[in-house]
Amino acid sequence: MFKIKEDDLTEDQTRALLTLHLAGMHASSPVGSVFALDLTGLQGAGVTVWTAWHGERIASIGALKITEDGTAEVKSMRTHPDFLRMGAGAAVLETIIAAAKRHGVQRLSLETGSGPAFEPALKLYQRRGFVKGTAFGSYVPGEFNQFLHLDFR
């Protein structure tokens, strides 16, 4: 149903979905608690972005950020509102997990928020084997954020 492609972030639909993602993160998170990558961050070294497409329409976006210590992070997961609960986010997440394994990553982690806006994503991650854990990288734990990990060891 969805075609997954590595995305160079030049298409208008991709940029619009990224803008929607950032706006949603800021609307649903306390000030200073948004760690979503913007366009420049997603174009950085070690970051690969994938999008799911349904025909000519973008359905979902997500990225893998590989770090030098053998771990990686899921970044910028967002499904377009027209495609919620249709498997687009799951397809992108499965692509990210497979890519992390191919790169020999030992642990795939993510930081996300708390509350109703984050519950659907948390369920998606947990269905794919992610478990709650401790902060990683430069993240500082707080009352709002939470951390999930998927170990490949």
The CATH code for residues 3-151 is 3.40.630.30
β 71-79/107-112 pair status: parallel
pLDDT at 116: 94
Provide block-wise average pLDDT over 10 residues at a time, the chain (153 residues).
Answer: 96 97 92 90 95 98 91 96 97 98 96 94 97 94 95 90
Domain ranges of the chain: 3-151
Q: How far apart are CA 63 and CA 6, in angstroms?
A: 9
What is this structure's pTM?
0.95
pLDDT at 31: 87
pLDDT at 115: 93
In 1-153, the DSSP E strands lie at: 3-6, 47-54, 57-66, 71-79, 107-112, 131-133, 146-151
pLDDT at 87: 97
pLDDT at 41: 94
